[in-house]
Amino acid sequence: MSRIPVSLDPWQPRARHLEFEGDLRAEELPRLRADALPGHPLRVHAQFQLERGALDEIRLSGTITGELWQTCQRCLQPMAWEFRLEPDAVLLPPEGTPAGMSEGDDFVALEADGLLRPAAWVEEEILLAWPLVPRHADCEPAAGAEFEEGEGAENPFAVLEQLKKGGPDRGGS
């Protein structure tokens, strides 16, 4: 098992069949660090490998686990989002999509220099899984309900119903 490198050339045979594993620091994940709740830990652990697939494609697969803090959108309190991702994607070679690949496959585009930047890939996978509206499973809204039943102005439809039936607001006998 090898430590996670800053970059690697996935087309080199020595890069294949190696397993990379390690913790990524917040400094290596600038977009996550910017979106996570300040003052709380950002923990990310990644394990991945490059292997040649059945169609002679290079596959990038592994496990990404960790925890980052966000603000619950219901109660507005800090909350930890624990995640476990198991990505499996095909690396896009410089010549384009490998033959036989379907649109359902996930693809990873490499940098302009043809290298894979594992920290950037891990960060992208986490951002794709990030909940749109993070919230605790069991919390109360920060503010009370905006309207309580029987409170506030009279229902406009009830007023119309009274007018229709010739009620007291109609001015007739």
Report d(CA 76, CA 84) in Å as an integer: 24
DSSP string across 27-38: GG-HHHHHHSPT
The overall average pLDDT reported for the chain is 83
Q: What is the pTM of this model?
A: 0.74
Question: Residues 60, 116: contact at Cβ < 8 Å?
Answer: yes
Banded pLDDT at 152 (limits 50, 70, 90)? low
Distant-in-sequence, close-in-space partners of 145: CB < 8 Å, separation ≥ 6: none
Question: Residues 172, 166: contact at Cβ < 8 Å?
Answer: yes
| H-only helix segments in 46-150 | 118-129
**R_g over Cα of the chain:** 27
Q: What is the mean pLDDT of residues 138-164?
A: 71
Identify the weakest region by mean pLDDT among 117-121, 157-161, 166-170.
166-170
Distant-in-sequence, close-in-space partners of 122: CB < 8 Å, separation ≥ 6: 24, 29, 44, 46, 64
Give the residue extent of every domain in the chain: 13-129
* Ramachandran bin of 62, using left for φ above 0, alpha for ψ from -120 to 50, beta for the remaining angles: left
pLDDT number for residue 171: 52
